[in-house]
Structure 1
Amino acid sequence: MAHMQNAQLSVQPMNLGTLYNLFHDNKLRVNRRYQRKLVWTVEEKTKLIDSVVNKLPIPLILLAQRNVDGVDSYELIDGLQRLDSFFSFMENQFAFNGSYFDLNTIGDTKNRLDAGEVQQLEPKMSRSSSLAISNYQIPVSIYREASTSSIDEVFRRINSGGRGLSLHEIRQAGATGSLADIVRKVSASIRGDGTFSESVLMKDMAKLSISRKELQYGLAIENVFWVRHDIIAPEDVRASGDEQLVLDLVLDAVIRPWPTSGWQNRDIAYGLPRKIQSASAETANIAVEKIGIDILHQRLTEIVRLIDEVMRGKSLGQHMVRLETYEKGTQRQFQAIFTALYELMFEQDMLPRSHEAVFDILNGFWNRKLSIPTGGSAWGKDTKAQLYPKVRKELRKAFYQQRPRRSAEALNSRLYIESLLNGSISEEPLVELKQGFCVFSDPPKENTKLFEEILQTAVAMANQGADSEGLILIGVCDKPSAAARARDLFGVESLEIFGHLILGTKEQIEFLGFDTDGWWRKWKDQILASTKISRPFANELASSFKPIVCDGRILWELRPKSLGKPITYDGRFFIRSGPSTHEFSADEFLEIVTPRFSKLVP
């Protein structure tokens, strides 16, 4: 494994108390490119505790050490389910042999108990037994100075044997490329556990996982889109069946002629060798990139939002297929409907006549002359080629050809905005939220300092590391006073999403004498004309600047990306620390930034 030769690897025993301390101090993180959601049942967790009590060996935990601004943290490559089992037991979330861990045994659990963050349940396990568990040592392997590609390879090798993973979880394990990225992002947005950052605190994983019997996590399975609409069975969602369906939807959206949907075809699209002819990983990735991950993300989640609004709380599966039971779901029926909607809305530029019209056309849709092949075999491209045009023709009756619309206002991206604002982003160094383009004085006036502030912030985000990508979102605030001021000055009501207040910027832009497209051109031209940032960085930043519509409110997104080396703004040196941008001297800058780039293995 040549990639890892320059990385330092150490294997050492660590007791559970020490690992819990890292967890308690927010030094354990989970990279969602690698790790599944929490999936173990109480029974599986109890068996692991039984192994500890009986002093049986436990497979090693694999971590990658990260250093940001001089602070060490550790990303879990392998061992999430095991560590969660230990920590949740140590926090009294389940019992072993009818007894609960004594929270007064170690300092960290006692601190949480004293702070009221956890509750001691009875009967308590003896102090000696609790101490023996906290002192139990397991092997921990730590990679230091490892590149992202190295970690990808390690994770792929660890998980390639399956070990209880579903077909798609094996396929997705450590997968890289635009296709894998869009599948991950869209799936998370639809489930409701989307986050801007791929790296999240291990403490946050519970709220990003699906509840099970006796384990109340953040997502109730009955509220997940796929289950509400009887499209995918609950247990199949837990086994990442939703991500497999999203993969099929993405391939249908970007590849023509429509490809066969089957397990071997999906594997080939992910770069796995199979003995059939199908769309290659290169073909699929290029097709996704031609549209753009963010645009495709917005389009796919917009169709989901439209379906929810059309159905008004009713099940799409029951509405379009009159069946007695839905245990296996209605995946292929949904896939055909979804693909037709994608064509109508984004390839033929059509709009629904009304939600009622779409609702009516979907009523008993598959009980008419149309039928669909079911079963576990592959869904052939020839069958799709015959069926999809018929589905589109029927659905077209509920749509009309719109007049040319301004591109900035063609798409409502509520789910996309939700996925960006979900999670703990308030202290995220790669996220910056701005309330708008105006100073809320009386009368309001343009914020003439904003452009320079944003360029400095963008440069600072690009200096976070060789793989860093930031998010600057304009049209959002956290202060109710600012939202109230926007209402008084511009007559706009804010929209709350995950504690953030969406103001939008349309009224501000119109106050300044521009329409949306005019403002878009103005800022892109201004970025490209700037002599204070390098030309390659200006080109990347300008191409990322675009409007996003959220329930009628227009926000603006920029995605600063690293060029693989430190950069400056007007010869000055900027770095992000938490949610703030700071200027440093040349010596300070080099001392902080050089390790972020030099430690990465090519």
Structure 2
Amino acid sequence: MQSSELSVQGQNLQTLYNLYVNKRLAVNRRYQRKLVWSVEEKVKLIDSVIDELPIPLILLAQRKRGGVETYEIIDGLQRLDAFFSFMENKFSYNGKYFDLDTIGDTKARLDASEITQGEDKLSRSESLAIANYQIPVSIYRDASASSIDEVFRRINSGGRRLSLQEIRQAGVLGSLADVVRRSSASIRGDGTFSESVILNAMDKLSISRRGLDYGLSLEDMFWVRHDIVAQEDIRSSGDEEMVLDLVLDAVIRPWPTSGWQNRDVAYGIQRRIRTASPEDVNAAIDKVGVEELHQRILSVVGLINDVMSGHGSLGRHMVKLETYEKGTQRQFQAVFAALYSLTFEDGMVPKSHDAVRTVLDDFWGRKGLSIPTGGSSWGREKKKSLYPSVKKNLKKAFYKPDLQRAATQLNSRMYVESLLQGPVTEEPLIELKQGFCVLSSPPVEDAELFEQIMQTAVGMANQGKSAEGLILIGIADKPSAANRIEQIFNVKPLAIHSHLAVGTLEQINHLGYDIDSWWRRWQEKIQTSKLSKEFANSLAHTFRPVYYDELLLWEMKPKSVGKPITYDGRFFVRIGSSTREMTADDFLSHMTLHFS
């Protein structure tokens, strides 16, 4: 790491808060943890500021986000959140709140009713002293991803030690880390399409704590609701360790031992055991595909969620015990492996949710079905004898339908919800479309839509060498469009966070197509369009149907080919959430900035 990459300077909280307000502080979720500090920890930090004690430095990496210079937080996420949440009156210090009239940014937000002043205020001079408090800030300019990863690995901020799974995941690249990270976040409810999220959105994506109004409640999470993973284990990424075991069971044959040493080896940490190597694991995942495996995992979890909807905890349903402090992780793991195999290896589907739930009732009280207990490794030989028996019992609730229909109608509710979590409307790499029709009377095919989507896809791919975007069709851009679709096609919109899913099946049926013919039509249009052959083939491959309950959506994921591309000889880029055409000179400057 070259010294020229690093600059160190003192910045006061007022300056840092201005970056925050203008959404120029970002969190890379590939290696950063959630917000985990309690109110007590945050108050201690404010106490240090008031007593003028030194604070550990903040580490930032300079980045470009949507054409705007931003700063990615390498270390200091918890501290910055504590400072800014105090300055926004989300908690008090000794019963007193920061005076929002002290600095321009908090006063402007107060006047706009974006934040509210607490009743008992600190004095203006005390508040100003806090706002002017100097913090050492180190900024990496033009730092490589590998150097940032290495720095993060060496940091243990705030005296809070990382768990084994957090250490495994921290800054790691590769298919295993990718699918574990993404699937875990989606199941918890804090999944996002983009790895980079503005700090302002992190409270919506973090676990609530006593006295803090965060977005995610532990009690509402899949793992806790179903007595699978204990609450305290979620905080230390025990749910990600659970997902890691599910991933390994899904792709490795024979089923591997589940134990901490085997998990370490899968991530490339040397241990004196014989187990699947990182190369073997990543190759097995790549054979399925990271995106495909991610969606498969979510679909099985979603199926279990649907099966138990309105019928209580899965853990209590399949294990008739009085206490669940340790959860039912191994029981769930075995059931998951069987459901995964029935669905994706045998091509079967449930006869009904009731049928699956009936089979799962007191499942682990059946003769011949027992799970090893304790914290030791769960050996492959035990799995070899147990998993087929679990599958045989669950198979009673499944049948084999038409294979194509089964693949097409897989419910991807949890997957779609994870895509639309976070500040989607401000994301340059996400575009939502209501459907394929102009909502006239009668509705007709939108003749301009294909061209618009191709230009958007090119603009997304031109964001940089590693850019990957998402175009999702079947999501209304405003309530009036959703109401109009309900009037015309009798489709009841479904709320997904702040968006409305309206589906597209009725529209394509109205135009005289079924799912398969529409799918082929658009893939052919993409492949024969005015795109380069390389990009067209890549884009066409990503266009596919996705179900959100009974609503048919379509997704497309434009991905950079490592160099700038054009559409019909024209230059397109994404500026904020809009697609813009550029002149040749402007595009050359953009290309130099993002592809050099």
User: Partner amino acid for 1:96?
Assistant: Y
Shift of 1:437: 2.1
Structure 2 equivalent of residue 485 of structure 1? 484
In the alignment, the residues of structure 1 paired with residue 141 and residue 584 of structure 2 have an alpha-carbon distance, to the nearest angstrom, of 27
User: Partner amino acid for 1:194?
Assistant: G
User: Partner amino acid for 2:443?
Assistant: P
User: Partner amino acid for 1:81?
Assistant: Q
Return 5+ residue gaps in structure 2 as ranges. none
In the alignment, the residues of structure 2 paired with residue 64 and residue 207 of structure 1 have an alpha-carbon distance, to the nearest angstrom, of 23
Check whether the contact 2:96–2:122 (CA below 8 A) recurs between aligned residues. yes
What is the TM-score when the length of structure 2 is the normalising length? 0.95
Alignment of 1:330-345 (within 5 A): 330-345=328-343
In the alignment, the residues of structure 1 paired with residue 55 and residue 562 of structure 2 have an alpha-carbon distance, to the nearest angstrom, of 39
For the aligned residue pairs, the C-alpha RMSD in angstroms reads 2.0
Distance of aligned partners of 1:407 and 1:400 in 2 relative to their CA distance in 1, 3 Å threshold:
closer
Any idea what SS the aligned residue of 1:196 has? coil
Check whether the contact 1:160–1:170 (CA below 8 A) recurs between aligned residues. no
| Of 129-138 and 349-358, the range deviating more from structure 2 | 129-138
Distance of aligned partners of 1:486 and 1:281 in 2 relative to their CA distance in 1, 3 Å threshold:
same
Shift of 1:226: 0.6
Deviations 1:231-289 (A, max 9, x none): 11111111111111011111111111111111121111112222222212222222222
1:224 to 221, 224, 227: 221
Structure 2 equivalent of residue 398 of structure 1? 397
Structure 1 equivalent of residue 175 of structure 2? 178
Any idea what SS the aligned residue of 1:226 has? helix
- Determine whether 1:506 maps to 2:517: no
User: Partner amino acid for 1:95?
Assistant: S
In the alignment, the residues of structure 1 paired with residue 273 and residue 132 of structure 2 have an alpha-carbon distance, to the nearest angstrom, of 52
- Determine whether 1:71 maps to 2:79: no
Check whether the contact 1:320–1:366 (CA below 8 A) recurs between aligned residues. yes
Distance of aligned partners of 1:385 and 1:151 in 2 relative to their CA distance in 1, 3 Å threshold:
same
| Of 83-92 and 460-469, the range deviating more from structure 2 | 83-92
User: Partner amino acid for 1:371?
Assistant: S
In the alignment, the residues of structure 1 paired with residue 382 and residue 331 of structure 2 have an alpha-carbon distance, to the nearest angstrom, of 13
Shift of 1:469: 0.5
Alignment of 1:140-289 (within 5 A): 140-159=137-156, 163-289=160-286
- Determine whether 1:347 maps to 2:345: yes
2:110 to 85, 110, 113: 113
User: Partner amino acid for 2:221?
Assistant: V
Check whether the contact 1:221–1:234 (CA below 8 A) recurs between aligned residues. yes
Alignment of 1:294-333 (within 5 A): 294-313=291-310, 314-333=312-331
User: Partner amino acid for 1:390?
Assistant: S
Structure 2 equivalent of residue 25 of structure 1? 22
In the alignment, the residues of structure 2 paired with residue 393 and residue 341 of structure 1 have an alpha-carbon distance, to the nearest angstrom, of 10
What is the TM-score when the length of structure 1 is the normalising length? 0.94
| Of 213-222 and 305-314, the range deviating more from structure 2 | 305-314
Structure 1 equivalent of residue 93 of structure 2? 96
Shift of 1:122: 4.2
User: Partner amino acid for 2:361?
Assistant: N
Shift of 1:68: 4.0
Check whether the contact 2:349–2:406 (CA below 8 A) recurs between aligned residues. no
- Determine whether 1:523 maps to 2:537: no
Check whether the contact 1:159–1:170 (CA below 8 A) recurs between aligned residues. no
Structure 1 equivalent of residue 426 of structure 2? 427
In the alignment, the residues of structure 1 paired with residue 55 and residue 573 of structure 2 have an alpha-carbon distance, to the nearest angstrom, of 42
Shift of 1:342: 0.6
Check whether the contact 2:265–2:277 (CA below 8 A) recurs between aligned residues. yes
Shift of 1:161: 12
2:131 to 134, 149, 155: 134
Check whether the contact 2:494–2:500 (CA below 8 A) recurs between aligned residues. yes
In the alignment, the residues of structure 1 paired with residue 66 and residue 351 of structure 2 have an alpha-carbon distance, to the nearest angstrom, of 54
Deviations 1:202-241 (A, max 9, x none): 1111111111111121011111111111111111111111
Check whether the contact 1:160–1:173 (CA below 8 A) recurs between aligned residues. no
Any idea what SS the aligned residue of 1:575 has? strand
Structure 1 equivalent of residue 464 of structure 2? 465
Any idea what SS the aligned residue of 2:403 has? coil
Shift of 1:425: 1.0
Structure 2 equivalent of residue 61 of structure 1? 58
Deviations 1:186-212 (A, max 9, x none): 111111111122111111111111111
In the alignment, the residues of structure 1 paired with residue 557 and residue 250 of structure 2 have an alpha-carbon distance, to the nearest angstrom, of 24
Identity %: 66
Shift of 1:414: 0.8
Structure 2 equivalent of residue 554 of structure 1? 552
User: Partner amino acid for 1:294?
Assistant: E
User: Partner amino acid for 1:586?
Assistant: A
Any idea what SS the aligned residue of 2:431 has? strand
| Of 492-501 and 234-243, the range deviating more from structure 2 | 492-501
1:42 to 39, 42, 52: 39
Any idea what SS the aligned residue of 1:217 has? coil
Shift of 1:382: 1.3
In the alignment, the residues of structure 1 paired with residue 374 and residue 349 of structure 2 have an alpha-carbon distance, to the nearest angstrom, of 33
User: Partner amino acid for 1:151?
Assistant: I
Check whether the contact 1:232–1:241 (CA below 8 A) recurs between aligned residues. yes
User: Partner amino acid for 2:549?
Assistant: D
- Determine whether 1:357 maps to 2:355: yes
Check whether the contact 1:436–1:505 (CA below 8 A) recurs between aligned residues. yes
In the alignment, the residues of structure 2 paired with residue 556 and residue 273 of structure 1 have an alpha-carbon distance, to the nearest angstrom, of 43
In the alignment, the residues of structure 2 paired with residue 522 and residue 407 of structure 1 have an alpha-carbon distance, to the nearest angstrom, of 21
Alignment of 1:377-416 (within 5 A): 377-406=376-405, 409-416=408-415
In the alignment, the residues of structure 1 paired with residue 92 and residue 488 of structure 2 have an alpha-carbon distance, to the nearest angstrom, of 57
Distance of aligned partners of 1:279 and 1:371 in 2 relative to their CA distance in 1, 3 Å threshold:
same
Check whether the contact 2:347–2:406 (CA below 8 A) recurs between aligned residues. no
Structure 2 equivalent of residue 537 of structure 1? 535
Any idea what SS the aligned residue of 2:555 has? strand
Structure 2 equivalent of residue 583 of structure 1? 581
Shift of 1:91: 2.1
Shift of 1:304: 1.6
Shift of 1:417: 0.9
Structure 2 equivalent of residue 436 of structure 1? 435
Check whether the contact 2:204–2:422 (CA below 8 A) recurs between aligned residues. no
Structure 2 equivalent of residue 453 of structure 1? 452
User: Partner amino acid for 1:441?
Assistant: S
| Of 288-297 and 559-568, the range deviating more from structure 2 | 288-297
Shift of 1:298: 1.9
User: Partner amino acid for 1:374?
Assistant: T
Shift of 1:171: 1.0
Shift of 1:515: 2.0
Shift of 1:55: 2.6
| Of 210-219 and 503-512, the range deviating more from structure 2 | 503-512
Shift of 1:56: 2.5
Give the number of aligned pairs.
594
In the alignment, the residues of structure 1 paired with residue 500 and residue 66 of structure 2 have an alpha-carbon distance, to the nearest angstrom, of 30
Check whether the contact 2:76–2:157 (CA below 8 A) recurs between aligned residues. no
Structure 1 stretches of 4+ moved >6 Å: none
Check whether the contact 1:27–1:73 (CA below 8 A) recurs between aligned residues. yes
User: Partner amino acid for 2:459?
Assistant: A
Return 5+ residue gaps in structure 1 as ranges. none
In the alignment, the residues of structure 2 paired with residue 423 and residue 122 of structure 1 have an alpha-carbon distance, to the nearest angstrom, of 31
Distance of aligned partners of 1:445 and 1:408 in 2 relative to their CA distance in 1, 3 Å threshold:
farther
